[in-house]
């Protein structure tokens, strides 16, 4: 039997989820979004079957409701669910980056027809809105589920089945576990990235040329500072207590390095850097998330017209499909590195071998 799925918020995350759910034949998707252009695009592309403008009416129609709005709005929608007269069971999930207040609201729901399983796909982008949504966003990513007191394993399994086309890997955590881990691996790094940008901007007053010197390192570590400030304001305040305590840890960590430097502790500094390298190099490369997943090759190319086209052409000839491509650093007249990502290690190894035959210098990061 066809199930009706309501997606509220068709932005980067909601749009990407809807693109996956719509691949399933037994699903009818109702989409709702505050932005009319978004609804029209999703309808035109067949990502949703119907547009809704009234939350209550759409909820009554639905078997599953996915709340993919900014966190504070998601919490408001959860409160509104309580006052809707349902005539069939409704499974509700969300995609919020912080879970404590969302689950608090969900646990307070009293309608026995409602069940709630929190969700958070650990993949995203600094871009926002439906135009940034893509069906492969969650491929190989971890998708965390946090069941409320009104849900059991069966409901979590229903969501896994509904989201099977995302090719994400589902893990179940408690709200506390989720919020602590994401504070460390996502929210706090974001705060640091923004602070580094502020530091550079401050130095620009005395060194106006500073931004032209920003090469791979600065751009890599601060990419996420270009994300939607409204979304991150929400995330910071939802996870405020943990972020404040992590700031204390971080200040202690900075004090330690300050002491190493001021006391000329070269060995300790080396160990500090090499311990960090060891841990960073050991992060899982096959999983997407904080660190891009995929199977990458690094190709050294020269800064000359057609250099990238030549490399892509060789791979296309061999029918090897590229998942992502990025220029890491090309300076005028100097060689640069092209990072090409593949979905499988077989394609990665084959590309290395073929490009090697064309005398390209190709490296695979271990």
Ligand X SMILES: O=C(O)C(=O)C[C@]1(C(=O)O)C=C[C@@H](O)C=C1
Ligand Y SMILES: NC(=O)c1ccc[n+]([C@@H]2O[C@H](COP(=O)([O-])OP(=O)(O)OC[C@H]3O[C@@H](n4cnc5c(N)ncnc54)[C@H](O)[C@@H]3O)[C@@H](O)[C@H]2O)c1
Q: Which stretches of the chain bind ligand Y, using CB under 6 A?
A: 8-14, 32-35, 38, 68-71, 73-74, 95-97, 120-121, 124-125, 128-130, 228, 231, 235
Nearer to ligand X, 93 or 186 (CB): 186
Q: State which residue, 162 or 224, has the beta carbon closest to ligand X.
A: 224
Q: How many CB atoms within 10 Å of residue 67?
A: 27
Does position 228 bind ligand X by CB under 6 A? no
d(CA 336, CA 303): 7
- The answer to the question of residue 17 lying near ligand X (CB under 6 A) is no
Nearer to ligand X, 71 or 156 (CB): 71
DSSP state of 288: B
Binding of ligand X by 74 (CB under 6 A) = no
In the complex, least distance from residue 224 CB atom to ligand Y, rounded to whole angstroms: 9
Span 196-225, contacts to ligand X by CB under 6 A: 224
In the sheet that holds 324-329, the strands lie side by side as 324-329, 336-342, 295-301, 361-363
Task: Give the one entry of ligand X, ligand Y, none that residue 341 binds, where binding means its C-beta sits below a cut-off of 5 to 8 angstroms depending on kind.
Answer: none
290 touches ligand X by CB under 6 A: yes
What gap in Å lies between CA 66 and CA 158, rounded to an integer? 13
Q: Which is nearer to ligand Y, 239 or 351 (CB)?
A: 239
Among 24, 126, 167, 268, binds ligand X (CB under 6 A): 126
Dihedrals phi, psi of 326, to nearest 5 degrees: -145, 135
Taking the least distance from each CB to ligand Y, the nearer of 11 and 147 is 11
Q: Which does 38 bind (CB under 5 to 8 A by kind): ligand Y, ligand X, none?
A: ligand Y
Q: Give the Cα separation of 53 and 36 in Å (integer).
A: 10
Q: Closest CB to ligand Y among 94 and 296?
A: 94
Q: Judged by CB under 6 A, which stretch of 19-27, 120-128, 243-251, 257-265 contacts ligand X? A: 120-128
User: Cα angle at 292 between 286 and 294, to 5 degrees?
Assistant: 45
Pick from 16, 186, 194, 238 the residue near ligand X by CB under 6 A: 186
Backbone angles phi, psi at 143, to 5 degrees: -120, 105
What kind and span of H or E run contains 316? helix 307-317
Q: Output 294 or 360, the one with its CB closest to ligand Y.
A: 294
Contact with ligand X (CB under 6 A) among 70, 124, 135, 336: 124
For 245-279, b where at least 16 C-beta lie within 10 A, e where not — what string?
Answer: ebeeeeeeeeeeeeebeeeeeeeeeeeeeeeeeee
Residue 133 burial class via C-beta count within 10 angstroms: exposed 0-12, middle 13-18, buried 19 and up: buried
Residue 144 touches ligand X, criterion: CB under 6 A:
no
Instruction: Compute φ and ψ for 94, nearest 5 degrees.
Output: -135, -175
Q: Does 285 bind ligand X (CB under 6 A)?
A: no
Q: Which positions lie near ligand X, rule CB under 6 A?
A: 97, 122-126, 186, 224, 227, 289-290
């Amino acid at each position: 039997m066809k199930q009706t799925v309501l997606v509220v918020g068709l932005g980067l995350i909601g749009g990407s989820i809807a693109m996956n759910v719509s691949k399933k034949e037994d699903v009818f998707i109702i989409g709702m979004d505050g932005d009319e252009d978004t609804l029209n695009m999703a309808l035109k592309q067949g990502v949703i079957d119907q547009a809704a403008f009234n939350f209550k009416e759409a909820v009554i129609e639905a078997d599953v409701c996915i709340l993919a709005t900014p966190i504070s709005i998601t919490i408001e929608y959860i409160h509104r669910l309580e006052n809707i007269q349902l005539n069939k069971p409704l499974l509700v999930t969300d995609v919020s980056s912080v879970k404590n207040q969302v689950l608090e609201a969900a646990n307070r729901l009293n309608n026995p027809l409602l069940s709630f399983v929190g969700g958070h796909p650990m993949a995203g982008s600094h871009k926002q809105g439906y135009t940034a949504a893509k069906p492969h966003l969650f491929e190989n990513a971890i998708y965390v589920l946090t069941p409320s007191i009104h849900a059991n394993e069966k409901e979590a399994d229903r969501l896994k089945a509904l989201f099977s086309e995302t090719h994400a890997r589902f893990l179940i955590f408690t709200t506390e576990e989720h919020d602590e881990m994401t504070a460390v691996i996502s929210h706090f790094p974001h705060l640091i990235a923004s602070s580094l940008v502020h530091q550079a901007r401050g130095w620009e007053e005395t060194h106006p040329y500073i931004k032209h010197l920003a090469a791979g390192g600065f751009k890599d570590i601060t990419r996420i500072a270009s994300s939607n400030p409204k979304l991150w304001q929400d995330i910071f305040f939802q996870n405020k207590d943990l972020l404040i305590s992590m700031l204390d840890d971080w200040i202690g960590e900075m004090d330690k390095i300050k002491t190493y430097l001021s006391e000329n502790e070269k060995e300790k500094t080396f160990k500090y850097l090499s311990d960090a390298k060891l841990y960073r190099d050991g992060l899982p490369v096959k999983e997407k998330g904080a660190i891009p997943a995929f199977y990458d090759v690094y190709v050294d190319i020269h800064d000359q017209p057609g250099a990238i086209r030549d490399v892509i052409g060789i791979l296309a000839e061999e029918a090897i499909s590229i998942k992502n491509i990025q220029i890491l650093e090309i300076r005028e007249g100097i060689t640069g590195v092209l990072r090409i990502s593949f979905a499988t290690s077989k394609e990665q190894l084959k590309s290395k071998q073929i490009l090697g035959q064309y005398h390209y210098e190709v490296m695979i990061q271990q």
